[in-house]
Structure 1
């Protein structure tokens, strides 16, 4: 029997565990008490033990568990864990620290820092000869240069964001001095380090890669509906899977391979965001040592018939036979059907009504409301502030039709 430590409950509900793993592994989950309250019974069923851990910080999207609390429990287990894994961006560094201290195989803290600190990350990518935005650490708000000075280095449009957060948390698009002033007012009381970088115009994509040692065994790409920060401006966040046979897909994957090789491969799985300019130039935006979030795992499963969380787990457990049996001789899976997902943001006010899908749209569409009548919403500050999710799959023509209708769909109405 192997003991596996899991940090955070994020995405565990989408993980499908083969019987051979359930029979050979005991899973111990370290989660917060708030996570414990909402943990699905279907997930509790396969967890051997659940430990509730104190949270020492929470930036609105990512939280950090108390490391010493976890270490104390692990050190008193009857055997040393065989693996420490997480599917949560906020726990990747903690997982690496625990591996280092307990001498457990897997990505070290030295490597994971390249995936967490966006400035170290971009410096590494730039040194590898890949295009990245011009970026620097911002001083404290009181010492910020005026917009005119920043404009000389970063251009007339720039981005201010934390160097170590996620989910478009506290991201600001700066177009002028007024925007800069408003950003400074909001950031003044936020206990995070911020960077400023050039705004890159174009279409945003993400590429998701999984490795077995130094062999790429899975690669897939998604085109975002819009820049992720647009969720805070009232537009739906979402993505549509790219056909692996497209020339663009091959270019995005090849770029991502170079990027994650520069950052390090022992993390096994990477989620890399790339911008493609109107003239086809690819720019690295950022990468995380984790699987994709939102509904991408479910979208990929519909599109390719493959659960990438299960694949990631198999590689983490060293089960090369299972991992390879889930993939083909090529890392590019065959597209079974087209698929997309959409996530709709919270607005402002008292919820009046939850709107059904437009008439005629029923086949292969899952819609889930995360709001109810008379809820009070105070807008959208990050990718966690959403009201509704939609997942759709099918033939290309049908998916084209549904996508065109749902991109402007308003699932929530508010009292005026």
Structure 2
């Protein structure tokens, strides 16, 4: 009888992996929140409020009593903690709830690292304008404030003075935020896969950031030497410190004058088409591994994989307004190694770029002989596309 698993939320990427492995998969998702093809990739789909843990536990326990599950899986941010809770409740193994919560709670993570002398960064929890201005005065330079449990660059504000702090808090309202010193340097992410507590670096990612610090491009592998800069060692020590033992992780790092510093981390595949980029560059499907390796169906990676190609993605941006048309798409798609994906259509609204959730227009993705070639080809394709908008 096939091995049976639960998947909480997310996209069809992990379902493609479990289906390809011959697993019986139960998807629990909010109604209308999944792609139609999910029905062909699963044993059944159960509709539920993914934010109601008591309901999720009842559903899973009842289904588990009918026929046991081997693991509860998720690669979507809001379901990482519930998946760990369910695995712990049913004794199925995986990353501990404490470890996953440490990655989710950025304040707890900073305190945890400070206690162990890992990646020192000046930080404080602030609850309004006055506390933010005081911390800015103590740091004496720029700071950044962000949600204590956010992701996707949402509600992240660089602050250099009281005026910027005031504008940020007018948008934020009353809630605690994490304030940190602004780390200057090269920002990149490190994509790892862990099995039985052993971590292997799969690749690293150079980022292209908007003025508001939203990621609008990724290139792999990074130009930065992970070993020579100490980044690889730091990421290994970090994952050990927070207790990650299995699955993919996406760890953001800034390499500055004082060395590398951890920004944040998530026990999932990074967003922004990183799964697809890793497939293009290495021929590896991390979503499949997220299911197969913990269940012993495939071996975990023993060492970093060899690069086959460089790979890059660049997201399309536009002046806010109503999209009228897309010019230059055919010219952009003329490169056989580049694919253009339009995720918006004429009549849709192009919104201001405040977080990764606002990258709704489309993107170009592809490969090259190396990372620089892939980036250059993607940027050339992106620059051929003109998203024409009109004010509404």
Q: TM-score, normalised by structure 2?
A: 0.89
Match of 2:10? 9
Q: For 1:35, what is the secondary structure of its paired residue?
A: coil
1:102 aligns with 2:107: no
Q: How does 1:228-377 map onto structure 2 within 5 Å?
A: 229-231=212-214, 237-242=216-221, 247-248=225-226, 251-277=230-256, 279=257, 281-319=259-297, 322-324=298-300, 327=301, 329-330=302-303, 332-345=304-317, 347-357=319-329, 358=331, 361-377=334-350
Q: What is the CA–CA distance in structure 1 between the aligned matches of 2:227 and 2:207, rounded to whole Å? A: 13
- Report how far residue 287 of structure 1 moved: 0.8
Match of 1:156? 141
Q: How does 1:175-186 map onto structure 2 within 5 Å?
A: 175-186=160-171
Q: What is the CA–CA distance in structure 2 between the aligned matches of 1:150 and 1:259, rounded to whole Å? A: 26
Q: What is the CA–CA distance in structure 2 between the aligned matches of 1:194 and 1:378, rounded to whole Å? A: 25
Match of 1:57? none
Alpha carbons of structure 1 residues 400 and 69: separation in structure 2 relative to 1, 3 Å: closer
Match of 2:69? 81
- Report how far residue 253 of structure 1 moved: 2.1
Match of 1:29? 27
1:53–1:70 contact (8 Å) kept in structure 2? yes
Q: For 2:226, what is the secondary structure of its paired residue?
A: helix
Match of 1:379? 352
Gaps of 5+ in 2: none
Q: For 1:230, what is the secondary structure of its paired residue?
A: coil
Q: What is the CA–CA distance in structure 1 between the aligned matches of 2:30 and 2:136, rounded to whole Å? A: 43
- Report how far residue 145 of structure 1 moved: 2.7
Q: For 2:154, what is the secondary structure of its paired residue?
A: coil
1:222 aligns with 2:214: no
Alpha carbons of structure 1 residues 155 and 47: separation in structure 2 relative to 1, 3 Å: farther
Q: What is the CA–CA distance in structure 2 between the aligned matches of 1:137 and 1:171, rounded to whole Å? A: 14
Q: What is the CA–CA distance in structure 2 between the aligned matches of 1:14 and 1:198, rounded to whole Å? A: 40
Match of 1:66? 52
Aligned residue pairs total 384
1:228–1:237 contact (8 Å) kept in structure 2? no
- Report how far residue 224 of structure 1 moved: 0.7
- Report how far residue 363 of structure 1 moved: 1.8
Q: For 1:120, what is the secondary structure of its paired residue?
A: helix
2:7–2:74 contact (8 Å) kept in structure 1? yes
Match of 2:369? 395
Q: How does 1:122-161 map onto structure 2 within 5 Å?
A: 122-139=110-127, 141=128, 144-145=130-131, 147=133, 149-161=134-146
Q: For 2:131, what is the secondary structure of its paired residue?
A: coil
Q: TM-score, normalised by structure 1?
A: 0.84
Aligned alpha-carbon RMSD (Å): 2.5
Q: For 1:16, what is the secondary structure of its paired residue?
A: helix
Alpha carbons of structure 1 residues 156 and 384: separation in structure 2 relative to 1, 3 Å: same
2:145–2:159 contact (8 Å) kept in structure 1? yes
Moved more, 109-118 or 4-13: 4-13
2:107–2:125 contact (8 Å) kept in structure 1? yes
- Report how far residue 306 of structure 1 moved: 0.9
**Deviation string for 1:82-133 (max 9, x for gaps)?**
1011001111111122223223212222221111110111222233332243
Gaps of 5+ in 1: 55-63
Alpha carbons of structure 1 residues 214 and 13: separation in structure 2 relative to 1, 3 Å: closer
1:168–1:228 contact (8 Å) kept in structure 2? no
Q: For 2:209, what is the secondary structure of its paired residue?
A: coil
